Amino acid sequence: MLQKEKALEKMCQFTYFFSNMDTIFVDSMNHIKWELGHNKVPTALKPYFSDPIDLLDLYENHSEHTVVFHTSSLRTNYISSEVNDEERNILGTIVTGPYLLEEPGSFFIQDVLFENNLPISLKHILTEYFSSLPIISPYKGKMIAEFLAYHTTKMHLWTLDDSQIEHKTYPAKAENNVPSHQLKENTKQSLDTIEKRYEIQNELMYAVEKGDREIAEKIIREDFALLEKLPDRIPNDPLRSRKNMSFAFNTTLRIAAEKGGLHPVYIDSISEKFAIKIEKTSTLNQISGIETQMVNEYCEAVNKLSLKQYNYKIRKAIEYIRTNISEDLSLNTISAAIDSSPHELSRQFKKQTNKSLTDYINEQRILEAIYLIDNHHLSITDISLMVGFNDVNYFTKVFKKLKGMTPSHYRKGK
C-alpha cells in the first residue's frame, strides 16, 4: 500500500511538471490528498468560483472514459484522469488546471461577467486572476491528456527504485589569494553599491507611490540593472535565488502602492498574479521582463484607482460605490454602509470632489458602460443593467448628457 501511495504521489508530481499547471489528487472519498501549484482564487472572487471538487463532480456523474476535459461557465478548464488498481478499483483522480483556451481580453472578461451575472465591479480582479492562469492550446491539452492516459493505465508497472540514479560531485579549483589592499577597495565598492541600490529602490518606490510611470520607466531603463546585480543567496540555484528576490521586489512595490492610496483588494490581486508568474518562470530573462511589468502595472493602478487625496469617509464612500456599482447606490444606502449621516456625507462629498454624489455615481456608471459598449454580444439594455441603471431610457438620457450622443450612436461611431 505504501508503495502504491508513493507511486500515486510521484505521478501527481510528474503531471505537475509536465503540464506546468496546478495539479491535485482527489481520492475515492472525494477528498484532496495532494495539491501542487500556485494559483489561488482571490478572496473577492471566492463566492463566485466553486471549489474544483464541487465543480467537477468527479464521482457523481462517473465517466467511462479514462481522461475527461472539463469546462466551467466561467471558461476555466480542467483535465482529469481516473486512476485504478489492477482490479479496476478506483484509487482516485488526478486533476490538472485551471487553464484557459484563449487570451482573457476585455471581451472575454465582459462575456464572463454577463453570462454568469457577476458584478461589473469585479472586472479588475477577474482580469488579474485570469491573467495568472496558463493558456493551453488544444494540441498541448491533447498531449497532457495522452500523458495522463498512458501513465494512469500503466501505474501497476511503476517502480520507485532510486538505485539507478547516481549523483556526482566535483571539486572546485582553488582561487588565487587576493591582496589586502584589493580587499579594502572591494569592500568600499561594495558599500557604495549597497547605498546606491537603496537610493534607487527608494526613488522607484516613490515613483510607484505617485503613480508616475514615466519616472519609474526612466529608473528601470537607466539604473535597474544595479538592483539586479545582487549576489545569489542560493549559489547552486541562481534561478531560485532570483525568484526569491523578485518576490521581495513585489512586496516592496505593493507597499509603495498602498502608500499611494491603492485599495488592498486591487493590491492583492496584482501581487498574487505576479507572484504566480514569477514562480512559473524558467529563465532569468523572463523574470527581468516580469519585474518591468510589475512596476508599470502598480503605477497604472495607483494612477487610476488611488483615493489618497480624499479623507477617510470619502475614501470609504468611493470604495463602496466602486465595488457596488451595479447595485442600489442611494444616498441613504451609502451613508448607512460607511456609518455616516446622509447630510454629512453629501456635504463632504461635494466639498472634496466638486461633484454631487449622484453626478459621481452616474459618471462612474457611464465609464463602465463605455468599457462594455464595444462588445456587440451585449445589447444596450444588457449594458444598462450591468452598470446599475434599471431603466434603459434613463441610462440613455444620462449617457447622452455626459457623452453628447446616445449609447447606440456612440457604439456606431467606434
The least confident of 4-13, 158-167, 269-278, 335-344 is: 158-167
Helix, strand, coil: what percent of the chain each, to 5? 60, 10, 30
What average pLDDT does the segment 225-232 reach?
56
Whether residue 395 has pLDDT greater than 70:
yes
Tally of CB atoms within 10 A around 191: 10
Q: Mean pLDDT throughout 370-392?
A: 92
**Looking at the predicted structure, is the pLDDT value of residue 358 above 60?**
yes
pLDDT of 20 strictly over 80 = yes
Q: How far apart are CA 100 and CA 75, in angstroms?
A: 7
pLDDT greater than 60 at residue 233: no
Q: Are 387 and 365 in contact (CB under 8 A)?
A: yes
Question: 244 falls in which pLDDT band (50, 70, 90)?
Answer: confident
pLDDT in tens, 72-108: 899 999 998 888 877 777 888 899 989 999 888 889 9
Residue 97 · residue 238 · CB < 8 Å:
no
Domains in the chain (CATH in brackets) are 2-160 (3.30.450), 180-305 (no CATH), 312-413 (1.10.10.60)
Which DSSP symbol is given to 135? B
Rounded distance, CA 68 to CA 55, Å? Answer: 14
**CA geometry: angle at 154 spanning 151 and 160, to 5°?**
85
pLDDT at 99: 93
Q: DSSP assignment, residue 309?
A: T
Q: Are strands 23-27 and 90-99 parallel, antiparallel or unpaired?
A: antiparallel
CA distance 76 to 99: 6
Check pLDDT > 70 for residue 229. Answer: no
Model pLDDT, residue 226: 57
pLDDT confidence of residue 400? 93
Q: Specify the 3-state DSSP secondary structure of 339.
A: coil
Q: How confident is the model at residue 334 (pLDDT cuts 50, 70, 90)?
A: very high
Q: What is the pLDDT, as a whole number, of residue 407?
A: 93
pLDDT of residue 228: 56
Count CB atoms within 10 A of the CB of residue 259: 16
CA atoms within 13 A on the CB side of 249: 27
Res 65 pLDDT > 60:
yes
Q: Count the helices and strands in the chain (H runs, E runs).
A: 17, 5
pLDDT of residue 185 exceeding 70, the answer is no
State the pLDDT at residue 109.
Answer: 92
- Comparing C-alpha atoms, which of 117, 136, 134 is closest to residue 73? 117
Q: Three-state SS for 148?
A: helix
Percent of the chain's residues with pLDDT above 90: 32
Query: Within a 13 Å sphere around the CA of 80, how many CA atoms are in the beta-carbon half?
Result: 24
Q: Residue 397 — very low, low, confident or very high, per pLDDT cuts 50/70/90?
A: very high
For residue 355, the tally of other CB atoms under 10 A from its CB is 13
What would the mean pLDDT of 245-274 be, rounded to a whole number? 88
CA atoms within 13 A on the CB side of 414: 14
Q: Cβ atoms within 10 A of the Cβ of 382, count? A: 15
Task: Check residue 161 and give its pLDDT.
Answer: 56
Q: Are 226 and 200 in contact (CB under 8 A)?
A: yes
Q: What is the pLDDT of residue 289?
A: 87
